[in-house]
Structure 1
Amino acid sequence: MKMKFRKKGVFQYFILLLSVLMFSCSRSTEKCYYVDATNGNDANDGLSATRAWKSLERANQVTFRSGERLLLKRGEVFGGELEVTGKGTSAQPVVVDAYGEGDKPCIAGNDQSLYAMRILNSDYVTVQNLEIVNTGSQPLPGRTGVKIECHNYGVSHNITVNNLTIRDVNGSLVKELGGGSGIYIVNGGDSVVSRFDSLLIENCHILRCARNAMIWNGYHDRRNWHPSKHTIVRNNLIEEVPGDGIVPIGCDSTLIEYNVMRDCPEILPATEAAAGIWPWSCDNTIIQFNEVSDHKAPWDAQGFDCDYNSTNTVIQYNYSHDNYGGMVLICDSGERGFSLGNQNSIVRYNISIGDGVRPNETRIGMFSPGIHLAGPVKNTLIERNIVHLNVKPSAAIDRSMVVSDSWDGYADSTFIKKNIFYTAETSQFTMTESTNNDFSGNWYLGTYTVLPSDKTLKTSSELYQQKVLEIDKNGYQGLYTLMDERQADGKTCHFVNKKAIEEFFEMME
């Protein structure tokens, strides 16, 4: 027994030693490539800062393996397009990053570049700490800053985009012409079904990108349905973007949280519709703890939207304010075949202040309801939201508190419960031909032409009067007590505090 035990121990020792040697060998083959636009030389091997390459074209010749890195020198500007294809692992991802001191290295696309950087058919790749610029001499339809693409590949796992500054992308302002974006996520293919799993976009600053901040293009037809899964979009700042902010398309189980969209310029043509954060052709999307303000699209311009061909969307704990449109749109075009409609949407614990301030005519007048249900959406729950409508800047604004109207059909089974509706001027609820509406236990503060049928309605609240209106009749200062304050690029932003708003509604009872 003793002899057998010793032999087994020696055997285990050699197995352990062999494993260590193999691990060390694999670590030693990991390469780190350097690129320096000023002092580099493409004739170098690129394997140290003193032997750096000069151009992105040289770096584009590498298909990166697990654990390998590509480092761009800080303070440098690299003209052209960076192509990244890598096959990392969870333990050893491929990393594209910065080195040295100073500002982020900047990749500036060429005059006709459709993208300044593309991540193509990759697994376990992290791109971080770069600046991306793609400005041509003329607007170019479809132009983007970063393109993340998976085509005829299969499943692209764990792509991470972190702490990028993406700015000054002049795509088209017209959606039908191809638009443009800061980040464009594309998956598809006929020979090999292709999608993303566990895509992460966080801590990015998207600035002055036309038309949109980030938008997807995936399998949207329910007859050929292969959604990307487990996407997270978190802690991004979107500024001076005139169109759509964050729009997942053809996705399942997407989480969008702690993003800010603000200071949207009023430059879209009169034909254009856009909104802040919204899914299309998606299932199980959660949109929470975001702030959207100052949206000035000629049509829609809501802070949030649950669009058609989507199920089980949850929009919760968000802050919408000072948008031309209202807080939220829930819509269904009524089309069938490729679409299953809009089912089981939940809108709860959101705060809207000063929305619905559209100054110009839209397709049907100056239409800006606080909550808009369009088309045959089904089984929608709108619960415990605060919609605080201030004095309209123009008497011509058509601003109902809630509107349910037609888009090839009408809403059915809408449950509107325990919301706080406040209006500084006379407002109304316009439910048209929608069916099976259930209003229950809402607060209707202010003056309304006609109230909906609500057996447990309340038309006054001492708590709201003291905690909100007496502090600031416009609602901001009082309702800020239900939010957390943070700084984003030197400006204050606000995120709804889950505990605070839930406790506030408990006190309202």
Structure 2
Amino acid sequence: MRIIVHITLLVLLISSGFEVTAKTYYVNSKIGNDDNTGTRIYSPFKSLDKLSSLNFYPGDSLLLVSDCTFYGSLELRDVHGSQKRPIVIASYPIDNTRNNQRANIDAKGNLNGILLENCSFVEFENISISANGGASYDRNEKELMRCGVLVMLSKRGSYEHIYLKNLLVNDVFFEEKGFLRGVNEVKTANGSQNYGWGIRFINTCEGAFMNGIKIEGCVVKNIAHTGIKLTSKTEKHSLRNIEIKNNTVLETGGPGIQMSGVENVLVRNNFINYSGSNNDSRKWGRGSCLWTWGSNEVLIEKNHFLNAKGPGDSAGAHIDYNCKNIVLQYNFSANNAGGFCEILGNNYNCAYRYNISVNDGYRVKGENGAFQEGKIFWLSGYNGKRKRSGPFNTYFYNNTIYVNKAIKANIAIDNGASGIFIANNIFCIEGETNAVLGDQYNPEKESETNIENLVFQNNLYLKQSNWPKELPIQDEQGVIGSPDFMNAGGDQIEDYIPIHAKLIKNKGMEIFNIPNDSIGLSIGLKVEYDILGNKIKGLPDMGAIELKNIR
């Protein structure tokens, strides 16, 4: 009878929302012991393996002592916190003088520094991860990779709330130092060999969805391939409601940030420098600072895209094919080999507005192994193996583009594009400008021009030749003149404040929908502020900066 009463009480407690008391586990690789309880700061566990073997409940915390190195991999599977009580994995200081130091995970020889599989309401904070080569694996398994952090879905269901904050992910390579990839590897679409990756989210399961991802304040540097990558390989847009903010991504062998199959994403205030790096033979050696594929509703704003390298692609930020409603605004793009604006085929209602581009697109086809020309502006119908199509309803307005005289600027516009709006931009190109054909894996061929639904007017050019006559579309009401930037060629946004106010102030036109486009941009065509945060009053000024204090 007593047993029945106890069981009844337990059922009542569970049904009434009773929650198990949260525990805090401490881990110290120097003084810990896996036979300890781990729940007291002076009786910590020692290893990541011990943590990986435990069962965790909402509100639990896993604390790794700062300024200490843990060898191996932290693997959490089917771990679930709750909305009010997430499970937190973080560093803790051994004394008050080390509050800002991170615990270090050295995953050399393991496939992942941190693995989260089918988890919800889990947060990682203030941890350093490296995974520089190590154990050998069968290289015939092309899917094998090494990740600093891997979050994956392999079971049907709805998952949510994975937050990565203030992580340092660096030196992640699949191969050992000295490995050579071969000259043709960089020409493959995304690399065909095994690589190291920084932070990866992957959904490989039909019927699995993840909602609520945050990657914030992280530093990702010296990675064999992509720094931050999110991929949905199954359901369309199965990774949703994502924030990628305030991160620094440096010297990645591939792209800095890449997203495929995502929806409702904010990418804000990230600093990406030297994507496509080839300073280590294990790196891919090609990649835009950021690009999207097969995604919807992505806002990319207030980022720095700098010094992307590589023989192909390698723009500041580009929109690959099969996307809708991708908007790039308030970004500073400079010295990217592949160019500034690149929008590929089967894309709908995408935009670049209020951005600044400096000396982008300097790459010359045929030099140093380059198989694509650099381009400051490129609309391409390429969409894989299918017939060239689009892009459709492209908006390009109030951008400031500066190219010095040492660079030959190239522009390519696919004849299959339909719906183009180009207005209020400043094209300050000191040297030559050429019209070129698109040159992807399935190159564009010359054909008759038949671009419909075009609005192309009211742009400022340094000289008449800044927009070549050979291009299939021409500005109906272009203006010639010098904006007289404060410091042309400089690396600050303020360097591109125009001094020649009479050409700039209130000379922009109102932005409206492309003919036969009922959508425009899902976030709206009207912009309240410029790239510096100045409020736009009256008609917009030309370019990305609204002039102030003009009498």
1:291-323 CA-partner distances (Å, limit 9, x unpaired): 010111221110011111111111111110011
CA contact (8 A) 1:216 1:247 kept: yes
Larger CA deviation: 496-505 vs 259-268:
496-505
CA contact (8 A) 1:60 1:84 kept: yes
Structure 2 residue 267 is the aligned partner of structure 1 residue 219 = no
Deviation at 1:271, TM superposition (A): 8.8
**Which residue pairs with 1:440 in the alignment?**
457
Deviation at 1:186, TM superposition (A): 0.8
Alignment match of 1:131 (pick from 123, 128, 133): 128
User: CA 1:134–1:118 in structure 2 vs 1: closer, same or farther (change >3 Å)?
Assistant: same
Amino acid in the other structure paired with 1:217: T
**Which residue pairs with 2:93 in the alignment?**
100
TM-score, normalised via structure 2 length: 0.75
Matches of 1:477 and 1:105 in 2, distance apart? 35
Alignment of 1:34-73 (within 5 A): 34-73=26-65
RMSD: 3.0
Structure 2 residue 165 is the aligned partner of structure 1 residue 162 = yes
1:172-191 CA-partner distances (Å, limit 9, x unpaired): 7752224431011111314x
**Which residue pairs with 1:297 in the alignment?**
310
User: CA 1:359–1:379 in structure 2 vs 1: closer, same or farther (change >3 Å)?
Assistant: closer
1:66-105 CA-partner distances (Å, limit 9, x unpaired): 1000000111110000012421111111000111243311
TM-score, normalised via structure 1 length: 0.81
Structure 2 residue 373 is the aligned partner of structure 1 residue 352 = no
SS in 2 for 1:146: strand
SS in 1 for 2:119: coil
Structure 1, unmatched stretches of 5+, are: 1-17, 333-340, 484-495
1:97-139 CA-partner distances (Å, limit 9, x unpaired): 111243311011132x221111121111110110001011489
CA contact (8 A) 1:356 1:368 kept: yes
Larger CA deviation: 318-327 vs 409-418:
409-418
Deviation at 1:454, TM superposition (A): 2.1
Matches of 2:173 and 2:229 in 1, distance apart? 15
User: CA 1:460–1:68 in structure 2 vs 1: closer, same or farther (change >3 Å)?
Assistant: same
**Which residue pairs with 1:6 in the alignment?**
none
Alignment of 1:150-229 (within 5 A): 150-171=153-174, 175-190=191-206, 193-219=207-233, 224-229=235-240
SS in 2 for 1:57: helix
Matches of 1:43 and 1:478 in 2, distance apart? 57
Deviation at 1:226, TM superposition (A): 4.8
Matches of 1:142 and 1:345 in 2, distance apart? 33
Amino acid in the other structure paired with 2:412: V
SS in 2 for 1:184: strand
User: CA 1:185–1:478 in structure 2 vs 1: closer, same or farther (change >3 Å)?
Assistant: closer
Matches of 1:82 and 1:182 in 2, distance apart? 15
Alignment match of 2:112 (pick from 111, 115, 118): 115
Amino acid in the other structure paired with 1:96: I
Q: Give the total of aligned pairs.
A: 449
CA contact (8 A) 2:48 2:74 kept: yes
User: CA 1:500–1:178 in structure 2 vs 1: closer, same or farther (change >3 Å)?
Assistant: farther
User: CA 1:253–1:306 in structure 2 vs 1: closer, same or farther (change >3 Å)?
Assistant: same
Matches of 1:120 and 1:370 in 2, distance apart? 41
Deviation at 1:246, TM superposition (A): 1.0
Amino acid in the other structure paired with 1:369: K
CA contact (8 A) 1:120 1:149 kept: yes
Deviation at 1:446, TM superposition (A): 2.8
Deviation at 1:41, TM superposition (A): 0.5
1:31-77 CA-partner distances (Å, limit 9, x unpaired): 10111101000111111111111111111012321100000011111
CA contact (8 A) 2:285 2:309 kept: no
CA contact (8 A) 2:286 2:311 kept: yes
Alignment of 1:232-381 (within 5 A): 232-264=243-275, 265-267=277-279, 273-332=286-345, 341-358=346-363, 361=366, 367-375=373-381, 376=389, 377-381=391-395
User: CA 1:115–1:505 in structure 2 vs 1: closer, same or farther (change >3 Å)?
Assistant: farther
User: CA 1:42–1:128 in structure 2 vs 1: closer, same or farther (change >3 Å)?
Assistant: same
1:312-354 CA-partner distances (Å, limit 9, x unpaired): 111111110011121121012xxxxxxxx21111111111011
Matches of 1:51 and 1:256 in 2, distance apart? 42
Structure 2 residue 84 is the aligned partner of structure 1 residue 88 = no
Matches of 1:273 and 1:132 in 2, distance apart? 24
User: CA 1:294–1:272 in structure 2 vs 1: closer, same or farther (change >3 Å)?
Assistant: closer
User: CA 1:226–1:357 in structure 2 vs 1: closer, same or farther (change >3 Å)?
Assistant: closer
Amino acid in the other structure paired with 2:166: N
Amino acid in the other structure paired with 1:100: P
**Which residue pairs with 2:525 in the alignment?**
none
Larger helix percent: 1
Deviation at 1:497, TM superposition (A): 3.2
Overall identity of the aligned pairs, in %: 25
User: CA 1:446–1:268 in structure 2 vs 1: closer, same or farther (change >3 Å)?
Assistant: farther
Matches of 2:237 and 2:361 in 1, distance apart? 37
**Which residue pairs with 1:450 in the alignment?**
468
Deviation at 1:360, TM superposition (A): 6.6
Amino acid in the other structure paired with 1:411: A
1:10-46 CA-partner distances (Å, limit 9, x unpaired): xxxxxxxx99xx99x847x211011110100011111
**Which residue pairs with 2:8 in the alignment?**
none
Matches of 2:363 and 2:268 in 1, distance apart? 27
User: CA 1:502–1:351 in structure 2 vs 1: closer, same or farther (change >3 Å)?
Assistant: farther
Matches of 1:237 and 1:145 in 2, distance apart? 15
SS in 2 for 1:41: coil
CA contact (8 A) 1:302 1:327 kept: yes
Deviation at 1:444, TM superposition (A): 1.5
SS in 2 for 1:303: strand
